[in-house]
């Protein structure tokens, strides 16, 4: 990719054959050929080069999904990118391609709760163990590595509590023991950090979030290096999971403005983080803006910017007053997911956080997750001001 990512996203994927700026949506289950010999030739070409666009059945994709694959492969600097129907589908595909019965996975304790369920509960039935480490103590991870460790799974920053980790140290631990590494990079996307360039084997992004940007599509991407290609290709073939062309089209369209949207999300979120830091009812703001903190240093070391997802820790002996604060917000909707143009708010109870070992909350501490959208930040702050008075 010779041009900057900003230029690349605006230029890639044009279709001069159909004379359209965006690639057309090609829907196909059956792929037709003129002769039996043509089918055999296509299959032979695919065997020689699985990265080629020679395909004989719609499960492998269509020209629409191939455009999205190529686009993401270039911005991730990946050997290959696999597209899944959901972001969590990409998590599953990445993990299941690596681990086998008897293996151990070491995972950040502040991981996305469905990922925790998959690794801690579901995979346990297949004799695969999940071991969680303290994201604020990198040596805790190092101590937990054993001869059975097959994969280190990082989410950076952590889900809901937004811990930033020293990624190079994690990678150094893994490389010394020949352990595979994966990172959930949905918060940053490859616009803000390119994990494969750092040395990660897998980079996972929920395309549902910032890639799409409009809260109307679900999808996931798993970017990998060459070392993992045969493993993931085999798993993808066995599972048969792929993104549909209509969703691929919407994600391509969303990616055109990824840079513009993320820049604005950061601008708005930074302003609101500074506002929250001055509120006596807010004990902590989970966002990288205080330069003298270790979290800021770890973010600045690896990222070129920040996104719009953040959290706050509120102090209150009255949980109902915290819920009342949320319900009084007029410009924030309530719902799962994030990454769209709109602002969202959620109360994160212990169930939402997952069965964590290292996130300790006192009875008077409450975590609220906020996605800061593309509205006027002054309007958002005014809305928060009128609502925060409810907290007692």
Q: pLDDT tens for residues 138-147? A: 999 999 999 9
Q: What is the pLDDT of residue 15?
A: 74
Q: Are 282 and 251 found together in one domain? A: no
Q: Are 239 and 272 found together in one domain? A: no
CATH number for the domain harbouring residue 163: 3.40.640.10
CATH number for the domain harbouring residue 350: 3.90.1150.10
Contacts of 158 by beta carbon, 8 Å cutoff, 6+ apart: 108, 109, 110, 111, 135
Q: Are 240 and 307 found together in one domain? A: no
Mean of the pLDDT values across residues 331-356? 90
Q: Are 271 and 228 found together in one domain? A: no
Q: Are 212 and 325 found together in one domain? A: no
Q: Are 58 and 162 found together in one domain? A: yes
Mean pLDDT of the chain, nearest integer: 94
Give the pLDDT confidence of 158-204 residue by residue, as tens digits: 999 999 999 999 999 999 999 999 999 999 999 999 999 999 999 99
Q: Are 222 and 239 found together in one domain? A: yes
Q: Are 238 and 287 found together in one domain? A: no
Boundary residue ending a domain (195, 221, 255):
255
Q: Are 117 and 227 found together in one domain? A: yes
Give the pLDDT confidence of 231-277 residue by residue, as tens digits: 999 999 999 999 999 999 999 999 999 999 999 999 999 999 999 99
Residue 281, domain extent: 258-388
Boundary residue ending a domain (200, 227, 255):
255
d(CA 340, CA 337): 9
Say if residues 196 and 78 touch (Cβ distance below 8 Å). yes
Q: What is the pLDDT of residue 130?
A: 98
Q: What is the pLDDT of residue 42?
A: 87
d(CA 162, CA 370): 12
Q: Are 241 and 283 found together in one domain? A: no
Lowest mean pLDDT among 59-73, 222-236, 344-358: 344-358
Q: Are 115 and 194 found together in one domain? A: yes
Mean of the pLDDT values across residues 24-28? 86
Q: Are 250 and 265 found together in one domain? A: no
**Residue 151: how many CA atoms within 13 Å on its side-chain side?**
24
Say if residues 198 and 167 touch (Cβ distance below 8 Å). yes
Question: How far is residue 223 from each of residues 183, 205, 230, 256, 329, measured CA to CA in Å?
Answer: 10, 8, 13, 19, 38
- Token code pair at residue 313: 């820790």
For residues 284 and 10, the model is more confident at 284
Q: What is the pLDDT of residue 11?
A: 87
Boundary residue ending a domain (255, 273, 290):
255
What is the tally of structural domains in the chain?
A: 2
């Amino acid at each position: 990719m010779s041009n900057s990512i900003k230029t690349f996203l605006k230029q890639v994927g044009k279709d001069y054959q159909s004379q359209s700026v965006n690639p057309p949506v090609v829907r196909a289950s059956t792929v037709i050929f003129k002769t039996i010999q043509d089918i055999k030739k296509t299959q032979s070409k695919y065997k020689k080069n699985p990265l080629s666009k020679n395909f004989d059945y719609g499960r492998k994709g269509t020209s629409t999904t191939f455009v999205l694959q190529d686009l993401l492969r270039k911005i991730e600097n990946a050997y290959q990118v696999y597209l899944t129907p959901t972001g969590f589908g990409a998590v599953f595909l990445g993990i299941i391609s690596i681990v086998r019965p008897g293996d151990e996975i070491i995972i950040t304790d502040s991981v996305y709760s469905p990922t925790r369920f998959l690794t801690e509960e579901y995979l346990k039935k297949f004799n695969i163990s999940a071991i969680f480490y303290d994201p604020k103590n990198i040596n805790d991870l190092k101590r937990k590595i054993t001869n059975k460790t097959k994969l280190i799974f990082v989410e950076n920053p952590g889900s809901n509590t937004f811990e930033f980790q020293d990624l190079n140290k994690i990678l150094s631990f893994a490389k010394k023991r020949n352990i595979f590494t994966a990172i959930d990079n949905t918060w940053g996307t490859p616009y803000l950090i390119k994990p494969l360039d750092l040395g990660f084997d897998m980079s996972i992004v929920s395309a549902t979030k910032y890639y799409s940007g409009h809260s109307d599509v679900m999808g996931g991407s798993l970017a990998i290096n060459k070392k993992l290609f045969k493993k993931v290709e085999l798993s993808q073939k066995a599972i048969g999971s792929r993104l549909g062309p209509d969703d691929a089209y919407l994600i391509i369209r969303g990616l055109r403005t990824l840079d513009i949207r993320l820049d604005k999300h950061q601008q708005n979120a930074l302003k609101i983080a500074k506002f929250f830091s001055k509120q006596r009812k807010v004990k902590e703001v989970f966002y990288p803006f205080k330069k003298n903190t270790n979290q800021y240093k770890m973010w600045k070391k690896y990222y070129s910017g920040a996104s719009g997802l953040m959290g706050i820790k509120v102090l209150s002996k009255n949980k109902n007053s915290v819920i009342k604060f949320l319900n009084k917000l007029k410009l924030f909707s309530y719902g799962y997911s994030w990454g769209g143009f709109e602002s969202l708010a959620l109360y994160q109870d212990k169930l939402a956080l997952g069965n964590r070992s290292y996130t300790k909350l006192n009875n008077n501490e409450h975590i609220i997750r906020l996605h800061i959208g593309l509205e006027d930040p002054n309007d958002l702050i005014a809305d928060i001001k009128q609502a925060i008075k409810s907290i007692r």
